[in-house]
Amino acid sequence: MQHLFIINPAAGSRDRTKQYKAAIRQVCREKGLDYKIYVSTAPGDCERAAREAALAGAPVRIYACGGDGTLNEVVCGAAGFPNASVTVFSGGSGNDFVKLFDDPKAFFDLNRLTDCEETEFDLIRCNDRLALNICSVGLDARIGTDVASYKRIPLLSGFRAYAVSAVINTIKGIAEHYTLEINGETFDDEYTLMCVCNGRYYGGGFNPVPEADPADGLLDVLLVEKVSRLKVLEVIGKYKDGKYKELPDLVRHFRTRKVTLRCDKPSPINLDGELMTAQEITFRVAKEKVRFFYPKGLVWEQKRTLQEV
């Protein structure tokens, strides 16, 4: 078994390449692991490195050394390859995807991460791209994709950067016109935002659909009606904490395998924190899946009540 560590120097608020290398060398030498370290040099480089490792055909565990954006690239490179499994050795500004586990801090501990177990997760197909966690469009996408502009400012990492971006984009405007097709219904109106969830957390701690399950073969979609600037803070607060059921007149919840969105003009789409621009996009459960490994003993499945089964 080979262990490939793909380091993204651009992840997080500062370059952690030296710290990553030191930890990797120490742990892998102590455990006698066959390992390689690769440092990315440009956007898309992590995906290419992961795909090359998967294409080699030998069993490989690939560690995305960074945050959610780095994990997205590595997942896109390894998706669908039965010989490759992936994880994240956390070091980004949000580290949101792994918050679905009961101890997300374990992903900062390489000793624990190399003593692992594995599962298989669904992916979201967004036109010709893939996402693992959460996609969004509208106010939320503008906020999320602008976070990178603020996260390197001192004291503005994680949720603080998201909060600043939220205030600025709220001032710019709330709603836009969209046409959606979902579960045989068509919706044509102005909407504040739409999110498509495979995972549970994004944006530095937002948890819009707490019951989302990345292995159930379905996507959880929230569609938020147009709201005023005075109301948007209340709605975002409920949305952030997964309390969408408390706003039945403003937030619709769907569980589906596919949703098609049409915008009046090319618009920003958030894919796991990465920016995509499109005028028409179809989100669907991808035919590809990804093998994901995590520290032994962690739990990510939610306990279900008899009423939910």
pLDDT at 306 (0 to 100):
35
For residue 145, the model assigns a pLDDT of 67
Q: What is the mean pLDDT of residues 136-164?
A: 71
Which fold does the domain 129-285 belong to in CATH? Tumour Suppressor Smad4 (2.60.200)
Mean pLDDT throughout 231-235?
Answer: 87
Residue 275 has pLDDT above 80, yes or no: yes
Yes or no: is domain 2-122+289-295 CATH 3.40.50.10330? yes
Average pLDDT, rounded, for the chain: 90
Residue 307 in this model has a pLDDT that exceeds 50: no
Q: Is it true that 2-122+289-295 and 129-285 share their CATH fold?
A: no
Record the pTM. 0.89
Tell me, letter by letter, the H, E, C secondary structure of the chain.
CEEEEEECCCCCCCCCHHHHHHHHHHHHHHHCCEEEEEECCCCCHHHHHHHHHHHCCCCEEEEEEECHHHHHHHHHHHCCCCCEEEEEEECCCCCCHHHHCCCHHHHHCHHHHCCEEEEEECCEEECCEEECCEEEEEHHHHHHHHHHHCCCCCCCCCHHHHHHHHHHHHHHCCCEEEEEEECCEEEEEEEEEEEEECCCCECCCECCCCCCCCCCCCEEEEEEECCCHHHHHHHHHHHHCCCHHHCCCCEEEEEECEEEEEEEEEEEEEECCEEEEEEEEEEEECCCCEEEEEECCCCCCCCCCCCCC
Domain ranges of the chain: 2-122+289-295, 129-285
Q: Is the pLDDT of residue 295 over 70?
A: yes
With a cut of 70, say whether residue 305 has pLDDT above it.
Answer: no
